[in-house]
């Protein structure tokens, strides 16, 4: 049902964490994967793992805040692999400032340059290629933003991060409205607290304990929890699914921090 054989999917920030999980899911499902990352060593390590699934892998050094490089890299993908069927804008920074009133313009702009503007550039170039395919008689394509619960909730000292992730949600809806006529869909995934090689939550930390007590799933997420949703959105099984925001957080948002799960009475 979720066979991606012959599909080419670009994943920005695809050499670690949730981005690598997206790429791994695509490769497991038979797709060809392109990973974008700024570190050549991490790219090579990820590419070696993904190549083990037996499909084509292309690793490119890309800073998504560099428009010229994004344009060039997407053109290289189309030339080397022949097409682009899916793009996952996952590259991003997470920084916390002491408070909103002390947040500098430099801190604001440097984060948005990657998280918001980089995502815009990545998705735009993928959409441009998909439109050209449509005009050549080969319509279709899937665009996916990886946002965060921060698109929906407040985070002290992280208003720049909130803004960047909220922008993805708004931007995605606008893209979906324009792109549907070309067979192109656009959606957003919002991960909850997720532990990966890029984000660690020590077992002794208050955040770890809060996840255990207030997340209905009783834990933080793992990068591997996102392989399936990535495959779904890159496959034809999501062909009628566009303009949506999907939360993958183990139930954290549903609970809204109100109920200590460990104190609930057992079901009879």
The verdict on residue 153 lying in a domain is yes
pLDDT in tens, 144-186: 999 999 999 988 999 999 999 999 999 999 999 999 999 999 9
Joined together, the tokens standing for residue 244 give 């949506």
The CATH number linked to 67 is 3.40.50.720
The verdict on residue 109 lying in a domain is yes
CA distances from 23 to 20, 129, 160, 184, 217 (A): 5, 20, 27, 20, 25
The verdict on residue 2 lying in a domain is no
The verdict on residue 147 lying in a domain is yes
| CB-based contact 19:90 (threshold 8 Å) | yes
Q: Is 161 a catalytic residue?
A: yes
Please provide the DSSP assignment of 45-79 as one string: HHHHHHHTTSS-EEEEE--TT-HHHHHHHHHHHHH
Helix (H, G, I), strand (E, B) or coil at 237: helix
The verdict on residue 40 lying in a domain is yes
Query: Mean per-residue pLDDT for 205-219?
Result: 87
Average pLDDT, the chain: 95
- Going by C-alpha positions, the residue among 84, 87, 64 that lies closest to residue 75 is 84
pLDDT above 80 (res 93): yes
Q: Give residue 72's domain range.
A: 8-263
The verdict on residue 195 lying in a domain is yes
CA pair distance 28, 113, nearest whole angstrom: 32
Q: What is the pLDDT of residue 164?
A: 97
pLDDT in tens, 117-132: 999 999 999 999 999 9
CA pair distance 167, 132, nearest whole angstrom: 26
Joined together, the tokens standing for residue 149 give 């619960």
pLDDT above 80 (res 207): no
The verdict on residue 39 lying in a domain is yes
Maximum pairwise Cα distance, the chain: 61
pLDDT above 80 (res 254): yes
Structurally, how many domains does the chain consist of?
Answer: 1
Edge-first strand listing for the sheet containing 245-248 = 57-61, 32-37, 8-12, 86-89, 141-146, 184-191, 245-248
CA pair distance 157, 193, nearest whole angstrom: 17
| CB-based contact 191:149 (threshold 8 Å) | yes
Residue % of the chain over a pLDDT of 90: 89
pLDDT in tens, 27-80: 999 999 999 999 999 999 999 999 999 999 999 999 999 999 999 999 999 999
pLDDT band at 202 (very low <50, low <70, confident <90, very high): confident
Provide the residue count of the chain: 268
pLDDT above 70 (res 198): no
The verdict on residue 268 lying in a domain is no
Handedness of CA 160, 161, 165, 168 (dihedral sign): positive
Catalytic residue among 161, 193, 214, 232: 161
């Amino acid at each position: 049902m979720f066979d991606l054989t012959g599909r080419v999917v670009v994943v920005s920030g695809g050499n670690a964490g949730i981005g690598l999980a997206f790429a791994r899911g695509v490769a497991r499902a038979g797709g060809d994967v392109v990973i974008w990352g700024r570190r050549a060593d991490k790219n090579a390590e990820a590419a070696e793992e993904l190549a083990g699934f037996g499909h084509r892998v292309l690793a490119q050094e890309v800073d998504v805040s560099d428009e010229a490089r994004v344009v060039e890299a997407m053109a290289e993908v189309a030339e080397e692999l022949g097409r682009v069927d899916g793009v996952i804008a996952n590259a991003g920074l997470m920084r916390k400032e002491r408070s909103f009133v002390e947040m500098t313009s430099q801190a604001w702009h440097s984060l948005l340059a990657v998280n918001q503007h980089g995502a815009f550039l990545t998705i735009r170039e993928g959409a441009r290629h998909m439109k050209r395919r449509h005009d050549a008689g080969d319509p279709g394509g899937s665009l996916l933003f990886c946002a965060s619960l921060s698109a929906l909730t407040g985070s002290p000292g992280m208003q720049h991060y909130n803004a960047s992730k909220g922008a993805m949600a708004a931007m995605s809806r606008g893209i979906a409205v324009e792109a549907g006529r070309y067979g192109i869909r656009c959606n957003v995934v919002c991960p909850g607290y997720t532990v990966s090689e890029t984000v660690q939550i020590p077992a002794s930390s208050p955040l770890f304990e809060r996840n255990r007590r207030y997340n209905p799933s009783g834990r933080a997420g793992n990068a591997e929890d996102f392989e399936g949703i990535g495959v779904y959105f890159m496959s034809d099984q999501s062909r009628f699914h566009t303009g949506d925001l999907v939360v993958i957080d183990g139930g954290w948002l549903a609970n809204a921090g109100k109920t200590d799960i460990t104190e609930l009475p057992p079901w009879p």
